[in-house]
C-alpha cells in the first residue's frame, strides 16, 4: 500500500506542478505587459478540449498500433497551445483594441470557453460529453509490481523547458527588459520608442499559448474529468502567480510546494483506511489553502504598476 501511495503521490505531484506552473507563468506573461488575464481558466479549457479532439482524430486515423506509440502527442500538444493562443486573441482584442475592462473580458472568456467546450465535446464525444479514450502519456516509464512509475515524461520536459526559456527571455534579454517596462510604465516606454501595443499583444498571445499547453497536460492526465472546465485550476494558477509575486523563480518554487500538498490531499483518501469517506473534503484543500495564503499575503503583493490599467497613448 505504501508503494502504491508513493507512486500515486509522485504522479499527482508531477501533474499539478506542470499544469499549475504553466498556468501561473501564463498569467505572469500577460500581467507583465499590464493585461490582467482572469481568462486563463478558459484558455486552459480550450487547450484541453482541442487536445482531446485532435487526439480523437489522430488516434482514429492512425489505428490501434499507431496510436499506441503516443508520438502523436508531439503534434497534439502544440496544436492545443495554438488553440489557447487564438482564444487569447479575443481577450487581447477586447482589452488592447477596444480598451475594455480586463476583469470583465477575462470572465467573458471563461464563460465562452465553457460553452464552446461543451459544444465540441457533444460533437466529438459520441454523446458521452467527452471523447472516449485512455491517453497514455509519452514518457519513460519503469514498471513496478505496484504500478507504473513515470521517471521522465513529456510534460516534465516541456514544463522545465518553458520555465528556463521564460526566465532567459524575461530577465536576460533586451526584449525582456522592454517587455517588463511596458507593464510598469507604458507611457515612458512609448517615449523611449517602444511599441507598447505590440508588446501587449505579444504578452497576451504568449500567455494563451502556454495556457493552451497546460490544458493539453490536463487532457493527458484527466481526460475523463473534463466536462467543459479544467476544475478551476486556472484560478489556482492565478493565486499561485500572486503568491509568487509575478516572479518566475518564486512561482516555480511555490508551485512545487503546493503541488506536493495537493498530491497528498488527492492521493491519501484512496490508500489510507478510513479516509475514503472524506474524499470530497480533501479535494477542497487546494482551493482553501490558496485562498488562505492569498488572504495572509495580499498586502505584500507588488503587481506590475500598470497592471489592469487601460493604455491610452494620448495620455502621457
Give the domain CATH number at 51. Answer: 1.10.3470
Helix (H) or strand (E) holding 37: none
Range with the poorest average pLDDT among 80-89, 263-272, 280-289:
263-272
Domain presence at residue 273:
yes
Give the separation between CA 89 and CA 281, rounded to whole angstroms: 37
| Domain annotation covers residue 307 | no
Evaluate whether residue 306 is within a structural domain: no
* pLDDT value of residue 187: 92
Please say if the pLDDT value at position 47 is more than 80: yes
* Predicted pLDDT at 151: 59
Please, what is the angle between helix 40-68 and helix 196-221, to 10°? 50
Measuring CA to CA, which residue among 202, 201, 262 is closest to residue 237? Answer: 262
Query: How remote is the C-alpha of 36 from its chain's centroid?
Result: 15
Secondary structure of residue 139 in the 3-state scheme: strand
User: Is the CB of residue 83 less than 8 Å from the CB of residue 116?
Assistant: no
Q: Three-state SS for 140? A: strand
d(CA 282, CA 295): 20
CB 212 within 8 A of CB 113: no
15 lies in some domain: yes
Q: Which pLDDT score is estimated for 1?
A: 55
Please check whether residue 63 lies inside any domain of the structure: yes
Among 72-81, 135-144, 172-181, whose mean pLDDT is lowest?
135-144
User: How confident is the model over 2-13, as pLDDT tens digits?
Assistant: 556 677 787 888
Domain count of the fold of the chain: 1
Question: Could you give the CA distance from residue 16 to residue 252 in angstroms, rounded to a whole number?
Answer: 12
290 belongs to a structural domain: yes
3-class DSSP string for 180-233 = HHHHHCHHHHHHCCCCHHHHHHHHHHHHHHHHHHHHHHHHHHCHHHCCCCCCCH
Domain region containing 284: 2-143+150-300
The residue whose grid cell reads 504598476 is 305
Determine, yes or no, domain membership for 308. Answer: no
Q: Is residue 316 part of a domain?
A: no
Average pLDDT, the chain: 86
Q: What is the pLDDT of residue 240?
A: 93
Amino acid at each position: 500500500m505504501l508503494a502504491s501511495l508513493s507512486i500515486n503521490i509522485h504522479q499527482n505531484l508531477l501533474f499539478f506542478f506542470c499544469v499549475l506552473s504553466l498556468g501561473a507563468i501564463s498569467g505572469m506573461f500577460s500581467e507583465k505587459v499590464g493585461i490582467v488575464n482572469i481568462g486563463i481558466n478558459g484558455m486552459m479549457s480550450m487547450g484541453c478540449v482541442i487536445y482531446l479532439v485532435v487526439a480523437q482524430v489522430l488516434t482514429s486515423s492512425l489505428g490501434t498500433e499507431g496510436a499506441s506509440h503516443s508520438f502523436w502527442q508531439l503534434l497534439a500538444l502544440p496544436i492545443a497551445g495554438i488553440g489557447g493562443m487564438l482564444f487569447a486573441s479575443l481577450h487581447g482584442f477586447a482589452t488592447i483594441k477596444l480598451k475594455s475592462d480586463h476583469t470583465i473580458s477575462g470572465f467573458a472568456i471563461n464563460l465562452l470557453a465553457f460553452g464552446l467546450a461543451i459544444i465540441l465535446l457533444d460533437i466529438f464525444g459520441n454523446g458521452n460529453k467527452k471523447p472516449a479514450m485512455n491517453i497514455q502519456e509519452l514518457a519513460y516509464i519503469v514498471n513496478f509490481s505496484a504500478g507504473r512509475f513515470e521517471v521522465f515524461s513529456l510534460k516534465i520536459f516541456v514544463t522545465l523547458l518553458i520555465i528556463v526559456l521564460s526566465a532567459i527571455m524575461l530577465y536576460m534579454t533586451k526584449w525582456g527588459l522592454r517587455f517588463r517596462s511596458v507593464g510598469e510604465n507604458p507611457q515612458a516606454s512609448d517615449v523611449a520608442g517602444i511599441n507598447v501595443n505590440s508588446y501587449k499583444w505579444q504578452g497576451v498571445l504568449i500567455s494563451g499559448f502556454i495556457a493552451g499547453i497546460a490544458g493539453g497536460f490536463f487532457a493527458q492526465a484527466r481526460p475523463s474529468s473534463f466536462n467543459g472546465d479544467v476544475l478551476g485550476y486556472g484560478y489556482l494558477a492565478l493565486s499561485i502567480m500572486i503568491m509568487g509575486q509575478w516572479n518566475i523563480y518564486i512561482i516555480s518554487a511555490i508551485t512545487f510546494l503546493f503541488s506536493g500538498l495537493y498530491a497528498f490531499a488527492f492521493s491519501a483518501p484512496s490508500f489510507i483506511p478510513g479516509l475514503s469517506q472524506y474524499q470530497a473534503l480533501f479535494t477542497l484543500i487546494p482551493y482553501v489553502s490558496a485562498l488562505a495564503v492569498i488572504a495572509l499575503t495580499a498586502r505584500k503583493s507588488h503587481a506590475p504598476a500598470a497592471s489592469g490599467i487601460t493604455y491610452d497613448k494620448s495620455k502621457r
